[in-house]
Each structure stands twice: as structure tokens, then as C-alpha cells.
Amino acid sequence: MAEETAVNETTTRVIVEKEDTNGMATAALVLGIIGLVIGIVPFIGWFVMPLWILAVVFGIIGMQKEIKKGMALTGVILGGITILYKIGFWVLMIIGSAA
């Protein structure tokens, strides 16, 4: 008679919870803040125009996720405000020089 040995295998499952993040929202907020702070300098601010555009683009992409939508929206708003500010500045400069 052959002996059968039962092997007692225990399986351990490790569950790792990862905090949800939204890197695009964070990037949009940081770029929006930097773009606004440097963007208010009258002639130097145009050199950071890519930051304004990227803040808006990253913010729109970041709003696709459910988490940290507020940061993404803030990045879009800051980028948009900076763009409008710079366009308004040059419109006023042109109107002022014509007068």
C-alpha cells in the first residue's frame, strides 16, 4: 500500500494599498503658480509662456481623473488668467501708445 502524504500549503496574500495620485493635476497647479508669478513681470513674463500653456493642457488632462480635480481646475484657471493678463497688457500698451 502506498502512503499518501498530505502537504499542508499555506498561501499568504499581501495586499498593498497605493494612494491614488493625479500627477497631471499637481503639475498643472505648480506650472500655473510659477507661470502666474513670473508672468506678471511685464517683459520677462513672455519667456514662460510654455508654462501657461502646459498648465492649461495638464489641467484639462488632470480633470479626467476623479481624484484631485480641484488642483487640475486651479491649474487651468491660473494658466488662463495669466494668458488673459498678458494679452490684456499688450492690448493696453498698444492703445496707450496710440493715444
Cα Rg of the chain (Å, integer): 26
CA atoms lying within 13 Å on the CB side of residue 43: 1
> What are the tens digits of pLDDT across the range 58-98?
999 999 988 888 899 999 999 999 889 888 888 988 998 88
List the grid coordinates of 90. 499688450
The residue extents of the domains of the chain are 23-98
Percent of the chain with pLDDT over 90: 34
At residue 25, φ and ψ (nearest 5 deg) are -65, -40
pLDDT at 7: 61
DSSP annotation of 42 reads T
Quick check: 56 and 72 in contact, CB under 8 A? no
